[in-house]
Amino acid sequence: MRRIASKRISIFRKFLTFGKFFSLFCFALQIQAQGELRIDSNHVETGNPFVFTFRIPVALGKPDSLNFAVWRDFLPVQNIVNQTQWQSDGQHYHKSVTALFFDEDSIQLPPLPIALRRGDTVTTNALQIVVTATPSSDDLNDMAPIKDIHREPTLWTDYLPWVLAGLGVLALLGLLFWLANRKSKAKIQSRSLAIPPHELAIKKLSVLVQKQLIINGFVKEHYTELTFILREYLDKRFGIPALESTTEETLGHLGITNS
């Protein structure tokens, strides 16, 4: 019985030791799985953009918004000019924040807490940044390379004024062309109406004689044009719809009946 009890106590101690080791291991993993804060350079000149990069292990869950209240004494919220959305590369969520510093100083940024969507919070590492004044024009050789400005993405609305202006020019040209074409047609019509019906018929008969259609063997064409000239004369002179009527109907309009 004593041997059995001693053996049970030994197993219990081993299990307790394993539990302590497992707890320490989980605690170590939790310490390692904190948020990571990186910078493109620990030196920046006043007025130049400065980029922070945040990284959170995917295993911790997707992060939520950032709260910069801890940094407000070193970095006012209005100095943060841009923030990207959280993106995942399969192992980490990462996010970039662009900020500006206007005061020359050596800044020690404390760890920044990051809220996760499941309710937990992770903390980044601390950072030290050296902000130096922009050199004057006499110190151009000592100036650090100027970083690129923050550029806004190009949207289709940026080209909308040019598109509307082009459409307006095309519409104006179309309107001018329509008005010019309309005036030319009105002039042609007014000229034809200004000629008396008998003079118009005589001119067209003269043109028909000059064509010499009968001499050239085009007898049918000759009488077709002659009939059109006579019908047009009756239409314009007496108001008889001879162009749309048959021969019998035209004779009826003239009061002539076939006996």
* Three-class DSSP labels, 172-208: HHHHHHHHHHHHHHHHHHHHHHHCCHHHHHHHHHHHH
Do 77 and 166 meet the contact criterion of CB atoms below 8 Å apart?
Answer: no
Residue 201 and residue 190 share a domain: no
C-alpha angle with apex 108: 102 to 110, nearest 5 degrees?
115
Mean pLDDT of the region 197-208 = 87
pLDDT in tens, 108-155: 989 989 888 888 888 899 989 999 887 765 555 655 666 667 677 878
Q: Are residues 164 and 110 in the same domain?
A: no
- Asked whether residue 44 is assigned to any structural domain, the reply reads yes
pLDDT tens figures, 23-77: 443 433 343 447 888 887 888 888 888 899 999 999 888 898 788 888 988 888 8
Same-domain status, 220 and 173: no
What pTM was computed for the model? Answer: 0.42
Q: What is the pLDDT of residues 72-107, one digit of tens each?
A: 888 888 889 899 999 999 999 999 999 988 888 898
**Claim to verify: residue 54 and residue 122 sit in the same structural domain:** yes
Report the DSSP pairing between strands 43-45 and 127-132.
Answer: parallel
pLDDT the model gives residue 29: 39
pLDDT reported for residue 11: 58
Q: Which residues contact 34 (CB under 8 A, 6 or more apart)?
A: 122, 123, 124, 125
**Angle CA(96)–CA(100)–CA(103) in degrees, nearest 5?**
145
The confidence score (pLDDT) of residue 135 equals 72
For the chain, what is the domain count? Answer: 3
CA angle 142, 73, 143 (to 5 degrees): 5
User: CA nearest 121: which of 50, 70, 51?
Assistant: 70
* Domain end marker among 142, 163, 185: 142
**Are 36 and 121 in the same domain?**
yes
The answer to the question of residue 120 being in a domain is yes
**Domain assignment present for 148:** no
pLDDT digits 0-9 by tens, 245-259:
888 887 777 777 665
Residue with tokens 């990207």: 84
Tokens of 50: 């400065």
* Residue 147 φ/ψ, nearest 5 degrees: -75, 155
Structure confidence by residue, pLDDT tens digits, 176-199 = 888 888 776 655 554 555 688 888
**Spatial separation of the C-alpha atoms in residues 160 and 166, rounded to whole Å:** 10
* Structural domain contains residue 23: no
pLDDT of residue 191: 52
Question: Do 257 and 183 fall into the same domain?
Answer: no
Please tell me whether residues 44 and 136 are part of one structural domain.
yes
**Is there a single domain that holds both residue 39 and residue 106?**
yes
For residue 180, being part of any structural domain is answered with: yes
Co-location of 173 and 93 in the same domain: no
Position 216 pLDDT exceeds 50: yes
The predicted structure's pLDDT at residue 208: 87
Same domain as 47, residue 92: yes
Q: What is the CATH number of the domain that holds 106?
A: 2.60.40.10
Specify if 147 maps to a domain: no
256 inside domain: yes
Region of 90 please: left (phi>0), alpha (psi -120 to 50) or beta. Answer: left
> What is the predicted pLDDT for the residue at 186?
59
Residue 1 located in a structural domain: no
Please give the residue range of the domain that contains residue 235.
Answer: 196-259
Same domain, 230 and 169: no
Residue 230 tokens read as: 């006579």
Q: What is the DSSP letter of 232?
A: H
Same domain for 125 and 101: yes
The confidence score (pLDDT) of residue 26 equals: 43
